[in-house]
Structure 1
Amino acid sequence: MSQLLCSTANILGAIGHQDIKLRLSRRSDADRRLRTDMEQCVSRHFSNVYDAQITQFMPLLLGLEMQGEIVAVVGLRTADDEPLFLQQYLDAPIERLISAASTLAASTSDIIEVGNLVSTSPGMARLLIVALTHYLYCSEFKWVAFTGTPLLLNSFSRLTLSPVVLADADPIRLRDGASQWGSYYATKPKVMGGYIPEGYRQLQLSDVFARVSYTPLYLSVMVAEEANRDCA
């Protein structure tokens, strides 16, 4: 069953020898400093790049922290928990469109939406995508859905990842309008779907996890859960 893993102090992993930590923040977390830092990173990026005013954030934020500074963030929303933001762009339930585009079965419990992806550099964006792929694979999600700009899609292609196009992200479909998004929609973003097991396999084959020295700290949670199931 798909379920996001956690670990002590919301530190999910580490990358390389640059003191880069993978951190997770929930809306309900007592550590408001971490949540505020991540939200400010997102809003600052969208303001600087698109002149957008972002005030709503995804339920969970995953970020890279280097020497105490947040350098990349991505938001997470599970399809089982609440309606996906990107469903507004679609003519049919996302699981149906994914199944049609990929010929693989998909259910809402298999799908997680990512968004609010920002970084201080393209390199940090790629590191976050690597860590995100590993994390979602270990959490047993099958499909990731997101709205991607050409720049974001370039980060995926640099990592040999190939998500499929599901639809155009047409701002006219937004219930609350697009005024707060500035020039974001001028980039012609697309709604995309990616098969997580295949993305994980590609990164393994390319030895990316080893090359960036990615150390996940949530694997002990997986081992404990498997032991509990064995004893049940």
Structure 2
Amino acid sequence: MTQLPIEPELVVTTALDDTVVVLRLNRPHRLNALNESLVTALETALAEAVREGRRAVILTGTGRAFCAGFDLKEVRDDGGRRQIDAQQRLAEALTSLPIPVIAAINGLAVGAGCEIALACDFLLAGSDAEFSLPEVLIGTGMGGGTSFLLARTVGRVKASDFVLLGEQITAAEADAIGLVSRVVEPDHLEAAAQELASKLASRPPHAIATVKKALFRGLNQTFTESLDAELTEIRAAHFHPESVALMESFRHRSTRT
């Protein structure tokens, strides 16, 4: 088996303050292409963000790419099974994380790179970003829950156009089909992500966690099931100490106006 080179820190973690942390994929020599080690490092960093009480995470890439998918040049002696399992775990970690994750797309988001961005809560794209899901071009299938998330994000017809052709699209085209939250100038991308993260961090964390969970839960429920689940969630949130304080403050403001 080919000996792989020892790589530097695979995920660079930068705490902006007590509430917001930036996780930067750090394999620029491979356009931040995923391998098992990078996925494990990212899973660890996400879990650590929760343990440290962070309220928002910014996920971005080092260099000129967000992530160029899985590293197909690495030796795989199991038909790619470990890579596939790693990607599925990462998608589950991102979508189930109780804090919001902002994908700041700098440059290329290809294959699994596009797919992990889709599993985030916000997709901010630099105007020079480019997206593609080229699985059909290399004879494979989608991963990371994309078969579930993509059509629910952009609609089945637009999803078919994007995936079945496998062609690269620009940030403006991604914005037009609803794939990204917003597009900003490349030199403003990190500042825009930090501004959004700060806004999210100012919201009650238990409410953010409840609503994020509800959004993903509701993707696969009937309307009646969603109503029942919402009732349980609202009752639980209503009696949370922070909610009680916020509602009391709101009532006082309403009385004075």
Which bin holds the TM-score, normalised by the shorter protein? 0.3 to 0.5
Larger strand percent:
1
Q: What TM-score, normalized to structure 1?
A: 0.32
Pair member with larger Rg: 2
Q: TM-score, normalised by structure 2?
A: 0.30
Structure in which a larger fraction of residues adopt helix: 2
